[in-house]
């Protein structure tokens, strides 16, 4: 039996994910030789080359699933090499070494990757390069390195550009304190030029990071929190289109976004990316909004006159149409991934079972599965779970905390058994946390309302002397 198109696509995805080890070794060798050539030409200490090689081996081989892709690795190497001519220029001018904006590198990496371990290693590399080029001063190395870590930590959850300014101030203050401690411990004198350079360094780090956000996003192929907030704006053309043409889907996406954000925060994933990805995950429903239950009026079902196979095609096609809309409106890859992966290779069980009940011949489960790929990140996996859980709980006739908790557990267990979470980094402990958060949020949304007493007494007169015309109805009180 020939494999379906969906199976072929899943095999192609697996081929791109699972790459042979020699490819990584070849990348390490090529990049190292290029960087080494630049360092040798610039007459930088061989110790820097050795340190760079060790970090290359760690980031490209020893990190396992978190190893850097080739684009990110080349971009980080380029950012590292930029500091060679920068240091040479400052040396040639006879300026203080504290003018070198080493913290800017750490802040940029944190904004684009939100990976503290990567920031720590990269800041150490750039600090070591700068210290070696200025004579191998160990105290200088620790001052700029620790200041870089402080700046990166301040930039970790940046959601507004003013937060970058605050990170720059933190760099200046921390570097000044560390410099003064060094002077006090060594018994030396405060050099006015160094103290001025320390404060200028914070300004330079802020300016480079602030101005370079769009450039570095293109360079690294990433998406910062600042850009994510811009994509979350309801004035974005695609979101406006979703609101106007598929309001039910938009409301569903908002609920999924709230669930995903809360769950991602709990397991240490990028909560803002999860929320924004949830806003766009169902945009493929816009062209045929009336075929999806959240957009249908009560008692109407556009699938009643269609065969299960046709209903399945319409249902599954919203992923393809979503990807087409994403390309048309130039959505970043990080958001587009939510469109492609939010169903994984799940089975459209309702229409599959309907086809079996109607006695259709040659019914294959593969034909009723989404093409995938399965979620590749924590964020896309969380949105897959939130999407399914929200739909399941919304269909409960009388939701209460116990029913909601049971439904959430069943949905998550079903996805685990079906293998939909096999290619992401969620652990069973993470899934327990996600289940608790989903139950808590959904229970607060579907809480029971107070039953108000009838506003009229037995004699048919309004209570408290209020007329029915001016009194509040039960729905208004709710």
The DSSP annotation for 288-299 comes to TGGGSGGGSPTT
How many angstroms separate the CA atoms of 394 and 182, rounded? 62
Question: Is 77 a member of any domain?
Answer: yes
**Torsion 134-136-139-145 (CA) sign:** positive
Tally the domains of the chain.
Answer: 2
| 185 and 277 housed in the same domain | no
How many angstroms separate the CA atoms of 98 and 311, rounded? 66
pLDDT tens per residue across all 478 residues of the chain: 333 444 444 444 343 445 566 776 777 788 888 898 999 998 999 999 999 988 888 887 777 777 788 888 899 999 999 999 999 999 999 999 999 999 999 999 999 998 999 999 999 999 999 999 999 889 999 999 999 999 999 998 888 888 999 999 999 999 999 999 999 988 888 899 999 999 999 999 999 999 988 899 999 989 999 999 999 999 999 999 999 999 999 999 999 999 999 999 999 999 999 999 999 999 999 998 888 888 876 656 666 666 667 877 888 899 999 999 999 999 999 999 999 999 999 988 877 777 777 766 677 888 889 988 999 999 999 999 999 999 999 888 888 999 999 999 999 999 999 999 999 989 999 999 999 999 999 999 886 655 556 545 545 554 444 444 444 333 333 4
Q: What DSSP designation does 159 have?
A: -
| 286 and 418 housed in the same domain | yes
| 275 and 204 housed in the same domain | no
Query: Using one digit for the tens of pLDDT, what is the confidence trace for 413-451?
Result: 999 999 999 999 899 999 999 999 999 999 998 866 555
> What is the per-residue pLDDT for 343?
94
Question: Is 477 a member of any domain?
Answer: no
| 241 and 176 housed in the same domain | no
| 272 and 161 housed in the same domain | no
| 378 and 437 housed in the same domain | yes
From 204, 222, 240, give the residue that closes a domain.
222
| 303 and 354 housed in the same domain | yes
**Does residue 421 contact residue 372 with C-beta atoms inside 8 Å?**
no
Report the first-to-last Cα separation within the chain, whole angstroms.
Answer: 58
Q: What is the largest CA-CA distance in the chain?
A: 100
**Tokens coding 71:** 């684009």
Alpha-helical runs (H) found in 221-291: 225-231, 237-245, 247-267, 271-280
| 266 and 311 housed in the same domain | yes
From 184, 203, 222, give the residue that closes a domain.
222
Q: Which domain holds residue 266?
A: 226-445
**Does residue 278 contact residue 257 with C-beta atoms inside 8 Å?**
yes
> What is the per-residue pLDDT for 474?
37
From 195, 222, 249, give the residue that closes a domain.
222
**Tokens coding 462:** 């309004």
Question: Is 92 a member of any domain?
Answer: yes
| 195 and 251 housed in the same domain | no
How many angstroms separate the CA atoms of 284 and 88, rounded? 53
pTM of structure? 0.83
| 258 and 202 housed in the same domain | no
Question: Is 32 a member of any domain?
Answer: yes
| 204 and 231 housed in the same domain | no
- Buried b or exposed e, range 97-112, using 16+ CB within 10 angstroms: bbbbbbbbbbbbbbbb
| 60 and 126 housed in the same domain | yes
Q: What is the CATH classification number for the domain harbouring 347?
A: 1.10.3210
């Amino acid at each position: 039996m020939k494999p379906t198109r969906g199976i072929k696509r899943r095999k192609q995805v697996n081929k791109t994910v699972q790459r042979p080890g020699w490819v990584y070794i070849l990348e390490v060798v090529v990049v190292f030789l290029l960087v080494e050539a630049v360092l040798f030409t610039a007459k930088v200490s061989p110790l820097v080359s050795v340190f760079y090689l060790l970090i290359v081996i760690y980031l490209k081989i020893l990190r396992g699933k978190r190893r850097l892709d080739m684009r990110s690795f080349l971009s980080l190497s380029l950012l590292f090499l930029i500091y060679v001519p920068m240091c040479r220029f400052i040396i040639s001018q006879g300026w203080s070494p504290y003018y070198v904006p080493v913290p800017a590198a750490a802040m940029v990496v944190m904004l684009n990757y939100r990976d503290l371990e990567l920031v720590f290693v990269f800041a150490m590399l750039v600090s070591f390069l700068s210290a070696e080029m200025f004579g191998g001063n160990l105290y200088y190395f620790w001052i700029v390195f620790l200041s870089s870590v402080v700046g990166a930590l301040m930039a970790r959850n940046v959601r507004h550009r003013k937060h970058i300014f605050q990170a720059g101030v933190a760099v200046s203050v921390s570097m000044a304190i560390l410099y003064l401690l060094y002077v006090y411990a060594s018994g030396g004198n405060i050099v006015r030029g160094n103290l001025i350079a320390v404060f200028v360094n914070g300004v330079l780090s802020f300016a480079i990071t602030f101005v370079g956000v769009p450039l570095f996003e293109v360079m690294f192929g990433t998406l910062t929190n600042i850009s994510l907030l811009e994509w979350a704006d309801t004035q974005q053309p695609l979101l406006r289109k979703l609101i106007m043409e598929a309001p039910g889907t938009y409301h569903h996406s908002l609920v999924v976004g709230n669930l995903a954000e809360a769950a991602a925060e709990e397991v240490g994933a990028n909560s803002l990316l999860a929320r924004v990805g949830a806003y766009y995950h169902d945009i493929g429903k816009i062209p045929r909004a009336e075929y999806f239950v959240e957009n249908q009026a009560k008692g109407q079902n556009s699938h009643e006159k269609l065969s299960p196979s046709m209903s399945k095609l319409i249902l599954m096609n919203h992923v393809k149409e979503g990807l087409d809309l994403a390309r048309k409106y130039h959505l970043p890859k990080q958001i587009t991934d939510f469109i492609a992966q939010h169903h994984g290779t799940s089975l459209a069980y309702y229409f599959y079972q309907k086809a079996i009940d109607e006695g259709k011949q040659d019914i294959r489960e593969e034909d009723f599965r989404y093409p995938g790929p399965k979620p590749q990140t924590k964020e896309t996996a969380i949105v897959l779970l939130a999407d399914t859980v929200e739909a399941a709980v919304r269909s409960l006739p009388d939701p209460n905390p116990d029913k909601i908790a049971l439904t959430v557990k069943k949905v998550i267990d079903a996805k685990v058994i079906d293998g939909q979470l096999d290619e992401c980094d969620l652990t069973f402990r993470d899934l327990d946390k996600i289940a608790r958060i989903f139950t808590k949020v959904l229970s607060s949304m579907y809480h029971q309302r107070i039953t108000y007493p009838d506003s009229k007494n037995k004699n048919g007169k309004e209570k408290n002397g209020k007329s029915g015309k001016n009194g509040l109805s039960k729905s208004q009180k709710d």
